[in-house]
Structure formats: C-alpha cells, structure tokens
C-alpha cells in the first residue's frame, strides 16, 4: 500500500476527485463528487458545512439579500486537501466558530490570477468578508516555469494546453485530466528546470521572481477593488509552509515527508528553492498588502512550529492544522 494512503487515507479521496476543463479558469474540480473525506457541488466547489452541520447551498446563499455569508479564496489548501471531512475544512470550521456561513472558493493548483478570476466570475455575490489564503503556488511557479510573464501569470498544466493548441492530431490533451496526471507534468517541469539550471542566470531568477510579484500585486489590487465595491472586508493570509517554519516534525510528518521525497528528489530541490526566498518573500508580500491597504497575516509563525501533527505534506494541513489556522485567523479579523 502507498505509505501516504496508509498514514493519511483521506488523500486517496482527493486523488480520485479529478478535474475538468473550465473556460477562463483552465481547470476546476469535478462536480457532484462524493467520498468519505470530500464532496463537491454541481459546479465543482467543495461543499462547506454550516454551524448546524448542514451543507451550505451556494446558489441560495448568493441570493441572500442580507449578504449573510463570507468567502475563503485560494488554492488546494483552501479546498482542504488533507481534511478528513468537509466539516474540517477551513471554511466549514470558520462557519462553526463564527456562527456565519463561509463558502469554499478553493481551486486546486490555482495561482493568484486564477483565484481572482474565480472571484470575478461571481461578482453577483456580495460577501461580508473575503479571506485570501494563498502565496505558495505563485512562488513555486516562478521556479517551475521556463519563462514567466509580468502579465500572464504561469499556471500548472500550461504545457498541456499549449500542446493541445499546437497539436495537429485530434487528441484530448489536457481537456480532462486527473489531479494525479498533473503530477506527471510537474515532474517533467522539475527535470527540464534541472537541465537548464546551469544556464539560468541570477538575472533570470530575479526577473521571474519580480514578475510573480507584479502579478500578485495586480491580482490583489483587483480583488480589493471587488471587495470595496461590495463593502466587503478583505484580508490576505500567507499560508504556512513546513519548509519556511523549520518545524519540529512529529513521527507522521517525518515519515510522510521522507516518503514523498523518495518518490522524486526534485521535491527537495523545490523545497530548498522556496526556503531561499523566505525572508524576502515575506517582506515583499507584506509591503504590497500594506501599500494596497489589505491586512496581512503571516501564518508562518511560532504556533505552527510545534511538534503537533499539522501537515500531511509540506503544504497541506491536517484537521488539527486547519483548526489552528482558523483560530489564528479568527483572532485577527
């Protein structure tokens, strides 16, 4: 048995959900999926659970004249990869803690531009609060992409779409792919990056980093404009990353990280890359948030350095990790 499935059996459910092509967003999780650990609604959003233990109906909540709901926006961490049930995802935990409805606007593998697009497609929704819980994917894509753009943010799976457009054969490349197949492309990117590492200059690395910062600033500016237009409170939360925390690993985390590294050593290379940018990235994101008037919360803090089991991998959290994140956020919003 896959050691990851043995230690965290819920991960198998997330691997089985799969994803579908979505105009503008490029990809989104498959709709109407139901597993023990996770379920999605008719549009592919993960179901959120309200304070009474009931599934929140997105369609009805959007029509609420009192705007009695809030949104948590982000990628797979917001979606809740690692949670053992819909009720232990962060939006559901916020619903229970704050006695208000929180919707899950998490799109797995999303960058900040895709997060903004997902929010923009629902401009008719007028939430009380918007929390953007993000930050890791943009920086990761600066490493994985052969060349970044200060306008068109790189995204996971872009080579599949590029190949589909250029292919002369009638193949459904990248139109319907599972989340597991996406990993193949990431591995390919790792290998191609390793091959070109010797020719990648410090100027190239600096350019790519600055490009993703420009995209982040634009995306956050637009998200704030949406929030301001609705009279919504917006907050940016930099998600915790085990690499940035120098965390005291518990036995489960040590075994999981060791197993994942054994699958492909390049994950360790990526981890080292992310670690190199730690201090500067923290400072730059906080500076941008301050400039735009968006409250900034950094969850790479002492509380996440404990020896408790908080991570199912270096990015995604356990139920206890989700609870800790929600409690820390709730104290500051």
pLDDT in tens, 62-92: 766 666 899 999 999 999 999 999 999 999 9
pLDDT over 50 (residue 39): yes
Give me the pLDDT at residue 163, please.
Answer: 64
pLDDT tens digits, 156-177 = 666 666 666 665 444 444 444 4
Burial of 53 (0-12, 13-18, 19+ CB in 10 A): exposed
Across the range 276-289, mean pLDDT stands at 96
Give the confidence band of 7 by pLDDT, cuts at 50, 70, 90: very high
**SS3 per-residue string spanning 302-316:** HHHHCCCCCECCCCC
> Which of the two residues, 142 and 120, has the higher pLDDT score?
120
Is a pLDDT exceeding 90 seen at residue 309?
yes
CATH code matching the domain that covers 3-330, chosen among 3.20.20.140, 3.40.190.80, 3.40.640.10, 3.40.50.1110: 3.40.50.1110
Q: What percent of the chain has pLDDT over 70?
A: 80
Residue 202: per-residue pLDDT: 67
Least confident residue range of 31-45, 141-155, 159-173, 196-210: 159-173
**DSSP assignments along 12-62, one per residue:** HHHHHH-EEEETTTEEEEPSS-B-SS-BB-TTSPBPPB-TTSPBP-HHHHH
Q: Which is nearest to 196 in space by CA: 233, 157, 145, 243?
A: 145
Q: What is the mean pLDDT of residues 25-45?
A: 94
Write the Ramachandran bin of 35: left for phi over 0, alpha for psi from -120 to 50, otherwise beta: beta
Supply 136's token pair. 């890791």
pLDDT of residue 124: 82
Is it the case that residue 145 has pLDDT exceeding 80? no
Cα 117 to Cα 170, 251, 308: the distances in Å are 29, 39, 36
Mean pLDDT of the chain: 86
**Better-scored residue on pLDDT, 97 or 205:** 97
Q: How many other CB atoms are there within 10 angstroms of residue 236's CB atom? A: 26
Higher pLDDT residue, 201 or 47?
47
On the question of pLDDT at 191 being above 70, the answer is no
First to last CA, the chain: 42
Number of Cβ within a 10 Å radius of residue 136: 22
Q: Which residues in 60-188 belong to E strands, given as ranges?
A: 69-74, 101-106, 129-134
Domain ranges in the chain are 3-330
- Reduce the DSSP state of residue 240 to 3 states and report it: coil
Tokens of 233: 């409170």
Max CA separation in the chain (angstroms): 58
pLDDT of residue 150: 64
Average pLDDT over residues 24-28: 84
Measure Cα distances from 188 to 82, 157, 183, 208 in Å. 25, 11, 9, 19
Quickly state the pLDDT bin for 1 (edges 50, 70, 90).
Answer: low
The reported pLDDT for the residue numbered 179 is: 45
Per-residue pLDDT for 314 more than 70? yes
Q: What is the DSSP letter of 317?
A: B
Rounded mean pLDDT, 41-48: 96
Mean pLDDT over residues 111-128, rounded?
A: 91
Token digits for 272? Answer: 């080292």
Provide the pLDDT for residue 275. 85
Mean predicted confidence (pLDDT) in 220-236: 96
Strands 19-22 and 26-29: antiparallel
> Binning pLDDT at 50, 70 and 90, where does residue 60 land?
confident
Q: Which residue has the tokens 């009474």?
A: 52
Please determine, for residue 207, whether its predicted confidence score (pLDDT) is greater than 90: no
Per-residue pLDDT at 269? 74
Comparison of pLDDT for 194 and 267, the residue scoring more:
267
């Amino acid at each position: 048995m896959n050691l990851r499935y043995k230690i965290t059996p819920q991960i198998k459910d997330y691997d089985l959900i799969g994803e579908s092509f979505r105009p503008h967003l490029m990809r989104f999780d498959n709709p109407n999926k139901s597993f023990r650990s996770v379920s999605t609604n008719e549009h592919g959003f993960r179901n959120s659970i309200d304070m009474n233990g009931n599934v929140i109906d997105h369609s009805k909540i959007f029509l609420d004249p009192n705007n009695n709901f809030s949104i948590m926006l982000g990628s797979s961490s917001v979606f809740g990869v690692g949670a053992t049930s819909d009720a232990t995802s962060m939006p559901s935990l916020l619903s229970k803690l704050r006695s208000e409805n929180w919707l899950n606007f998490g799109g797995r593998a999303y960058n900040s531009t895709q997060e903004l697009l997902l929010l923009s497609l629902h401009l008719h929704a007028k939430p009380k609060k918007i929390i953007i819980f993000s930050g890791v994917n943009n920086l990761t894509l600066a490493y994985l992409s052969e060349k970044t753009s200060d306008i068109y943010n790189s995204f996971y799976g872009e080579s599949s779409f590029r190949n589909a457009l250029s292919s002369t054969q009638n193949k459904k490349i990248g139109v319907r792919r599972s989340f597991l197949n996406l990993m193949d492309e990431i591995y390919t990117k790792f290998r191609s990056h390793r091959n070109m590492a010797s020719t990648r200059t410090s100027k190239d690395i600096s350019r790519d980093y600055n490009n993703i910062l420009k995209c982040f600033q634009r995306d956050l500016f637009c998200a704030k404009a949406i929030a301001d237009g609705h009279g919504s409170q917006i907050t940016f939360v930099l998600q915790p990353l085990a690499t940035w925390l120098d965390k005291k690993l518990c036995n489960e985390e040590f075994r999981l990280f060791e197993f994942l590294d054994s699958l492909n050593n390049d994950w360790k290379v990526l981890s080292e890359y992310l670690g190199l940018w730690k201090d500067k990235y923290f400072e730059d994101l906080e500076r941008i948030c301050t400039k735009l008037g968006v409250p900034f919360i950094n969850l790479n803090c002492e509380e996440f350095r404990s020896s408790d089991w908080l991570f199912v991998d270096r990015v995604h959290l356990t139920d206890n990790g989700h609870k800790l994140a929600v409690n820390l956020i709730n104290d500051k919003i």
